[in-house]
Chains A and B, each alone.
Chain A
Amino acid sequence: MKLKTLLTAPAITIQETAPIHDARALMRRHAVRCLAVLRKGDLVGIITDLHLDAAGPSSVSELRRHDWESALDRVTVAEVMARRPRILTADTPVAEAARLARAEGLEAFPVTDGGVLAGVVTRGDLLAALSNLLGDRRPTALGHILAATSLRSGLDGAIGEAIRLASTLGAALTALHVLRVPGPLADLEGATAQDVKRVERARQAIAREAVAAMCSAGRTHEVSCDVGEGVVATEIARRAAELDSDLIVIGKTTPRGLRMLAGGRTYADQLVRLAPCPVLAIPREPRRREARASR
């Protein structure tokens, strides 16, 4: 595999005398992070968004105070670019380019074909090539499923459904159990901070084991288990965002007790409002009703 195969678009170029504002605008317009810099048609350097970030006003207030921002208009590309970039030819093997990028810490390099600038290849392009080689074997866009587990009876259907979905679609699955905070023991009278911590640790261990047991009951392969703490729906939504989940699977109860009085919103209901992705609610298994019917 040669670098040629990674060149999808001609290099975006800029003259070295151009102000850096123009470089930024050009990068935005073409959605690229690296420009080839020319002097009278010859390649003399490259400029990346990192160079522009370093040249621009500081993000720290006490440093920005000393930045002479009005003079930034006059800073040219030549003053901040990387000179004498490493240039590769279109026939360079991709493997060699990847090694070079790693060894020399290159973010991007210009590629020439027959002595003419043919494009710029970035680390991102190399990573995309790797991704293609690994093969995106996911038949759908569901890469990650988060299953919110519950230890309450009748709600283990959710994890089963999530496991079935994940193995059918080839998605990664994380089973998450959220311990509600404040927990039942957090405000134990007379308990020292150390006691509370010990109890918390025990609760976490029990929850972890329970989740692991549920997962192995579904006898599946690729499940990671996780225990979180916090306000249940908020914590599930936060983890889903963090893991970039594409779907949340959660068991749906009928609200009871105080929550029934508070408008009857279950965790599943709350989650739908907070979640960064679609939520699949699995109803409670109608065990009780069946029992009654058979009577």
Chain B
Amino acid sequence: MRAGDRMRRETACLDPCESLARAAHVVGPDRAGGVPVASEGVLMGVLEARDVARAQPSAVTTLSRTEMAHRLTTIPVHRILPANVTTVGRRTPLTEAIRLMRRRRVSVLPVTRGEELIGVLTDDVLLEMLAEILDGSGDQGARP
């Protein structure tokens, strides 16, 4: 099975100019998810929950709640976007994609053809797939 078989074609992307507050909202509070950042269809990178968490003011910030909220709306996403992005092709085997996800500690792998973003493979989809395989095999662990 290949990355292209399980990727999601419809992908919500963040614009690099959107604010950190918006990014935090998309990524979610306690979620270890990520979201691709693209400008006019060209992939710029992937923002992981980790990057958003690292950008947040610390637990002992001296900023007030309103000040903090205001500042978060003024900082653009591209300021905290990691320079490196791990991508896979449509033909990359899923086992390989999983290995990459675990090694690079990412939850989203953009699937690209050249520079063009054609979909994303997320760990959520893979979890769903795990559940499907286990259900379908009567818990025997079939090899599709």
Contacts and interface: CB of A to CB of B under 8 A. Distances in A.
Interface in A65-98: 66-69, 71-72, 75, 79-80, 82, 93-96, 98
Interface residues of B, number: 61
A69 to B, nearest CB: 7
A123 B32 contact: yes
Contacts, number: 186
Contacts of B86: 242, 244
Contacts of A56: 54, 58-59
Interface string B45-67: 00001110111111111110000
A53 B54 contact: yes
Contacts of B142: 133
Given A133-B133, A224-B90, A80 B100 contact: no
A31 interface: no
Interface in B52-92: 53-63, 71, 75, 79-80, 86-92
A226 interface: yes
B131 to A, nearest CB: 4
A63 B63 CA distance: 8
A26 interface: no
A59 interface: yes
B95 A136 contact: yes
Contact of A127 (B2, B60, B87, B101): B101
Contacts of B135: 95
A228 interface: yes
Contacts of A242: 86-87
A58 interface: yes
Contacts of B131: 95-96, 98-99, 102
B111 to A, nearest CB: 11
A75 B68 CA distance: 19
A294 interface: no
A67 B54 contact: no
The range of chain A's interface size is 35 or more
Contact of B124 (A66, A96, A102): A102
Contacts of A98: 127-128, 130-131, 134
Given A134-B144, A144-B92, A94 B56 contact: no
A199 interface: no
B143 interface: yes
B74 to A, nearest CB: 9
Contact of A224 (B1, B91, B143): B91
B75 A94 contact: no
Contacts of A96: 131
B32 to A, nearest CB: 4
Contacts of A66: 57, 61-63
Interface in A179-233: 222-224, 226-228
The 8 closest A-B pairs by CB, nearest first: A95-B134, A53-B53, A54-B53, A55-B59, A105-B31, A107-B32, A67-B58, A95-B131
Given A63-B57, A101-B127, 4 more contacts: A50-B32, A59-B54, A63-B55, A144-B92
